[in-house]
A = this chain, B = another copy of it.
Amino acid sequence: MRPKRLDSKSGCAVEVTLSVIGGLWKPVILFHLMHEKKRFMELTRLLPNTTQRMLTLQLRELEADGIVARHVYPQVPPKVEYELTPFGKTLAPVLISLRQWGESYQAQRASDIAPIQEVSKPTTTRRRRTNTAGHVA
């Protein structure tokens, strides 16, 4: 998805937003943090298909983007909590918008008897986003 790294050229600020929320696990992370703060281990459980590494990386990016705040409690055992910043919370309507369209897309997909599948068939086998291997959550 990923969306890869984008910059703000092409005169379209859409890409900027996508570069922030478009990470592979970020939508899900944000989705969970939207409701309440979570600590690291909770997130790993909420995203069983990712690795700690990925989770850390994505959280660090979100932190660097000013979306989430990271609170370290100097305890033993350590405790770290992540929560949305006020600015991060301004993403809510965007996420909701995305979510709604996603649902309408699913409805649309469910209703048609897959007539669109065979349009202008390519030579390479068309992989729909029905993933088999579970590298995705």
Residues of A within 8 A of B (CB): 1-10, 12-24, 27-28, 31, 47, 49, 60, 63-66, 70, 72, 87, 90-91, 93-95, 97-106, 108-109, 112, 116-117, 119-120, 122, 126-131, 136-137
Asked if B136 and A7 make an inter-chain contact with CB atoms under 8 angstroms apart, the answer reads yes
Decide yes or no: A3 and B31 within 8 Å by CB, A64-B116, A119-B64, A137-B10 being known contacts.
no
Asked if B116 and A66 make an inter-chain contact with CB atoms under 8 angstroms apart, the answer reads yes
**Within 8 Å CB of A19, what residues of B?**
1, 129
A54 CB to nearest chain B CB (Å): 12
How many identical subunits does the complex contain?
2
Asked if B101 and A6 make an inter-chain contact with CB atoms under 8 angstroms apart, the answer reads no
**Within 8 Å CB of A5, what residues of B?**
1-2, 127, 129, 131, 136
Asked if A98 and B1 make an inter-chain contact with CB atoms under 8 angstroms apart, the answer reads no
Asked if A20 and B105 make an inter-chain contact with CB atoms under 8 angstroms apart, the answer reads yes
Q: Pick the contact of A66: B7, B17, B108 (CB < 8 A).
A: B108
Asked if A3 and B2 make an inter-chain contact with CB atoms under 8 angstroms apart, the answer reads yes
Asked if B22 and A2 make an inter-chain contact with CB atoms under 8 angstroms apart, the answer reads yes
